[in-house]
Amino acid sequence: MVDWGDSGVIQVEQLTKTYGTTTAIRDVSFQIGRGEIVGFLGPNGAGKSTTMRILAGAIGATSGEATIGGLDVVGKAREVKAMVGYLPEFPPLYADMTVRSYLTYAGQLKGAERPAQAADRILSRVGLSQVAHRLIDHLSLGFRQRVGIAQALVHSPKVLILDEPSRGLDPAQRVEIRALVKELAAGDVTVILSTHVLSEVEAICDRVLIIHEGQIVTKGRLDDLAGTQVSLTVAHPSDDLVNRLHKVEGVVAVQDREDGRYIISARSDIRPEVARAAIDAGLLELSGGMNLEAVYLEATAGT
């Protein structure tokens, strides 16, 4: 029986996956509630796609357990796949089919009611109506990515697993897809998405999971985790100033830009301390705000 309780639509416990002597993920644990949008962040090779593929039932885990709606993703694979929409990082599209025929076929495979009507509905929702009768092979990368998103949505799933959903999209298309994801979550669809775009997580996600070298190293609500980024401009830039900035408690990274400008990432608001460190260098401007970058840099330090 499917359990759509508010706590734990997706539950992952001590998930591990090895390939020979290589461990892709190790003891990964988290849960995601109904209607949440959770961002999955990490460097290349950190284990994001491996985790997503296990959740989608594309591969099995070496040990640990993952359930969706209370159903084991391995033992109840058919039932889980019927209620999950999965966008792999590189969607396996059939290039010699038209967009509409492919989405109709995907709807049939996923058990959608009235697959042709379901395809037409999702064509409009994802902005593909104008290319519905074109061959997928003739589409741009951005439109192909939209087709991949559409096939994940065609059967009206309760859970969306999106691996790099904005890959290949232009800025306007990214805004549209973000709005669509937020709209779906407002209707109680649960979403986990991996991305390298920190601003995307900040714009649409409720929580974030940061994975590094196969393990979850940081997780929590964005409001609780956010660090700060400070922009500093001085009249007299120098290596000595950079050294002083690095010594300020809480500073994670200092980027030395041209014309006396520095971008400082930190775990908290360190603007008063930065001002004191920079006063002798001819402080001209100091501004900043909360963001996710500092947390990410600290959590994945050493990559």
Query: How far from 121 is each of 113, 124, 176, 240, CA to CA, in Å?
Result: 12, 6, 16, 61
Domain segments of the chain as ranges: 10-224, 226-299
**Other CB atoms within 10 A of residue 151 CB:** 26
Which CATH class name applies to 226-299? alpha beta
**CATH architecture for segment(s) 10-224:** 3-Layer(aba) Sandwich (3.40)
**Alpha-carbon span 33 to 188, nearest angstrom:** 10
**Tens of pLDDT, residues 247-288:** 999 898 898 987 899 999 887 778 899 999 999 999 999 987
pTM for this prediction: 0.80
Per-residue confidence of the chain (303 residues) as pLDDT tens digits?
Answer: 566 555 569 999 999 999 999 999 999 999 999 999 999 999 888 999 999 999 999 999 999 999 999 999 999 999 999 999 999 988 889 999 999 999 999 999 999 989 999 999 999 999 999 999 999 999 998 899 999 999 999 999 999 999 988 887 888 888 888 888 888 888 789 999 998 888 888 889 989 999 999 999 999 888 777 667 888 999 999 999 999 999 999 898 898 987 899 999 887 778 899 999 999 999 999 987 667 777 888 788 764
The reply to whether 10-224 and 226-299 are identical in fold is no
Beta pairing partners, 290: 228
Planar angle of CA 81, 216, 51, nearest 5 degrees: 25
